[in-house]
Amino acid sequence: MTILVTGATGNVGGSVLQQLLQTGAQIRATSRNPLTAGLPESVDVRAADLADPGSFKEALEGVEKVFLFPSPAGIEGFLEVAKAANVRHIVALSSLAAAYPGDNDSPVRMMHLTVEHAIEKSGIDWTFVQPGAFATNTLAWARSIRQDGVVRLPFPDSQSSPIHEYDIAEVAVAVLLNDGHTSAKYRLTGGESITQHRQVDLIGEAVGRSLRVEVQTRDEAYEDLLKQFGQFGSAKLVNSLLDMTEAAVDHPGDLETGVQDVLGREPRTFAEWAVDHKADFAG
């Protein structure tokens, strides 16, 4: 059985790839530019771009299962190519934003719902992995921590339940390698709700430095986020993220049980994540 991993250079996709390699599974990966992807030499890397579905015809030959990075651009065409190639099962990286009902039309929610709905209608078996806040989001603080020992935040008392990318990947790998997960939607969070201020403290403990939080105005945070997202940012996206962060001040983050349900253990803690990534913050 050949498994195709898309988004293999990302935090989650890269971890999916590494964990699959450790199982001895037959793996293929895609990248827009295989020569610069930096993936292990043992991996069969093919050139493909989710925005150009036709580019997947060769990459999907002989593939039975796909770990799919969420990209609304070209999703319908990709699914047509996958169906023609007799792909049996798609495990899609989605978002907890898509799991909760309501009239929330945030860009993050709508992007993932577009992908989910297309896959559901494709006729291919599917499983959705729906993580909440990624612990890796805090890597955006790395430069200011290395340079100044400071993290600038608009709402430091905002709470979330950040999840380690290794846990997201481990759930995806378990689904890819085992039966019984068809049409399942796994909601994933870390096992604790903590403030952003506490996350800064835990990173400081991991790197052995005393870090400081500077409180930003919302306008200052807005400008910083626009720069951070670059071409992928928009006023609507940034304001949506700031709205959600502000609404979570003194409000515990949701705790879901997808990790426990699939893996039979508790999620890794943010403190563990900080230790795993201390090199990113220590410089």
Rounded Cα distance between 36 and 41, Å, is 12
Q: Which residues contact 117 (CB under 8 A, 6 or more apart)?
A: none
135-163+190-253+269-283 and 2-131 share a CATH fold: yes
pLDDT of residue 216: 95
Half-sphere exposure at residue 227, Cβ-oriented, CA atoms within 13 angstroms:
7
Tell the residue number behind the tokens 């934003």, with chain if given. 97
| List of the chain residues with pLDDT < 50 | none
**What pLDDT does 69 receive?**
95
The pLDDT, as a whole number, for residue 143 is: 95
Per the CB < 8 A criterion, the answer to whether 166 and 16 are in contact is: no
Contact, 46 vs 30, CB < 8 A?
Answer: yes
Integer Cα distance of 106 and 188 in angstroms: 19
Which residues does 13 contact at the CB level (< 8 Å), separation at least 6?
5, 6, 7, 67, 69, 93, 169
Check residue 92 and give its pLDDT.
Answer: 98
Listed in sequence order, the residues at least 6 apart from 161 whose beta carbon sits closer than 8 Å to its beta carbon are 132, 133, 189, 190, 191, 192, 193, 194, 253, 254, 255, 256
Structure tokens, 222: 């807005």
**173 and 129 in contact (C-beta within 8 Å)?**
no
Q: Label each residue of the chain as H, E or C.
A: CEEEECCCCCHHHHHHHHHHHHHCCEEEEEECCHHHCCCCCCCEEEECECCEHHHHCCCCCCEEEEEECCCCCCHHHHHHHHHHCCCCEEEEECCHHHCCCCCCCCHHHHHHHHHHHHHHCCCCEEEEEEECCEHHHHHHHHHHHHHHCEEEECCCCEEECCECHHHHHHHHHHHHHCCCCCCCEEEECCCCCEEHHHHHHHHHHHHCCCCEEEECCHHHHHHHHHHHHHHHCCHHHHHHHHHHHHHCECCCCCCCCHHHHHHCCCCCCHHHHHHHCHHHHHC
At the fourth CATH level, which superfamily is domain 2-131? NAD(P)-binding Rossmann-like Domain (3.40.50.720)
> Domain residue spans in the chain?
2-131, 135-163+190-253+269-283
Contact 253, 160 (CB under 8 A): yes
The topology (CATH level 3) of 135-163+190-253+269-283 is Rossmann fold (3.40.50)
Residue 263: the pLDDT is 98
